Structure 1
Amino acid sequence: MKAVMTREFGGPEALTLMEVSNPVPGPGEVCIEVKACTVNPTDTMRRAGAPAWHPLPAEGPFAIGMEAAGIVRKIGAGVELDVGDSVMAVVFPSGRQGHRPNALSCRPNKSR
């Protein structure tokens, strides 16, 4: 699938359309079909390289965006959600977790 990512810190010109693999949930994770997502000031600061906003260094390429809503499409072992559940996610940015235009893999911190 295609995703808007960045390989380096900078302004909007640092964003690049890239081909990425579909996310696969690991144990305790879910894969969400994203229906809506946000890019807020915190995300633009990460793109610009402001380390105070994110304690983990960005290792490119990386996606910006930490908030998404959608439908659970895949679940990993030990998850107490069901495929088809509607969810909202706030994702701490890292290389493993992060959202793309239409999919997200993340670890739920609370189930029903």
Structure 2
Amino acid sequence: MPNEVIKVLATAAALELIAFLQSKYGPVMFHQSGGCCDGSSPMCYPLGDFIVGDSDVLLGEIGGAPFYMSQAQYDYWKFTQLIIDVVPGRGGMFSLEGPEGKRFLTRSRVFTEEELKALGL
């Protein structure tokens, strides 16, 4: 769909790490953390290990993996596109990339006026 606004996307490095994790663990999923300990790190879990609730929003997929965020957090972030990247370091203790010496990191950019209009915001 040419006018579809992409709410979440991943860098080449993130896609490479996702593919590696999928080869190791099978299908995976993401949930954008909003907790105090992990800051705003995207957390990667085996698909189905994190129970998604009615108050979670599916933003899209990255590397074939669904990416969710709580509705309360989305209300603050809905004006931005999330760009999932990878940096050296340890991720959240429950996130699959933790033992790999890399961690997922959320970067963002504010949507353009045209994108906001297409989103109905």
TM-score norm. by structure 2 comes to 0.25
TM-score by length of 1: 0.26
Kindly indicate which of the two structures has a greater share of residues assigned to helix: 2
**Which structure ranks higher in relative contact order (CA pairs < 8 Å, sequence separation ≥ 6)?**
1
